[in-house]
Chain A
Amino acid sequence: DAEITQSPRHKITETGRQVTLACHQTWNHNNMFWYRQDLGHGLRLIHYSYGVQDTNKGEVSDGYSVSRSNTEDLPLTLESAASSQTSVYFCASSERRAVYEQYFGPGTRLTVT
């Protein structure tokens, strides 16, 4: 069965370290998204991609970067982790011609100490 996976599921890191969160989908979807989930804010869009070599900034992109070298993967990098980036991160994907439904991964809980 097609799926979307994230790794690691839990991560603790120190302030200033570079961290990369992985997202892998086997739906063969063109569109991929990264969100962060914080209490009282719902989910907020960090970055998104509509295909290989395409990346775009979302509403809370400062301090984050992504790259899309193939259809299946969209890794999220925190260049220099800050305590304000402690959050739960979700990756999602959707089909180019059926944009309405996004399929979400199980999430990564990141703690920056």
Chain B
Amino acid sequence: GNSVTQMEGPVTLSEEAFLTINCTYTATGYPSLFWYVQYPGEGLQLLLKATKADDKGSNKGFEATYRKETTSFHLEKGSVQVSDSAVYFCALMRGTSYGKLTFGQGTILTVHP
């Protein structure tokens, strides 16, 4: 079946540090890959996506590249801010699943001033 595995958290960084959150997946075929972010007390919102191999999704300074050879979609940001403190979810959607998402367990990020 489909599954998504994220690095164990929580992750604690100082402002302006470099961020990497690892994500690997298992799926048949060619899934689309996503990062969602959940700020405290809110629902999830889409951060970025990539729909085919070697695509790079980017938004708000965050980037992730769809690597089919390593089945990975790691999230990176060059310089984090306190406002980036949130829970980050990696997710996949198979082409045949028509909108159904499979989520990883989430990684809590805390950024200190």
**Residues in chain A within 8 A of chain B (CB atoms):** 4, 31, 33, 35, 40-45, 48, 50, 58, 90, 92, 94, 99-107
Tell me whether A104 and B98 are in contact (CB under 8 A).
Answer: no
Indicate if the CB atoms of A104 and B44 lie closer than 8 Å. yes
Query: How far in angstroms is the closest Cβ of chain B from A92?
Result: 8
The interface stretch among B64-72, B75-83, B99-107 is B99-107
What DSSP secondary structure best describes chain A's contact surface? Answer: strand
Check if B34 sits within 8 Å of A100, measured CB to CB: yes
A residues near B105, Cβ cutoff 8 Å: 40-42
Contact residues of B between 1 and 22, Cβ < 8 Å to A: 4, 6
Q: Which 3 A-B pairs have the closest CB atoms?
A: A104-B43, A42-B103, A99-B99
Q: Which residues of B contact A45 (CB under 8 A)?
A: 100-102
In the assembled complex, B58 has its CB within 8 A of some CB on chain A: no
Known: A50-B99, A100-B49. 6 other contacts (CB 8 A): A40-B105, A42-B4, A42-B105, A90-B44, A100-B34, A101-B49
Residue of A nearest to B34 (CB): A100
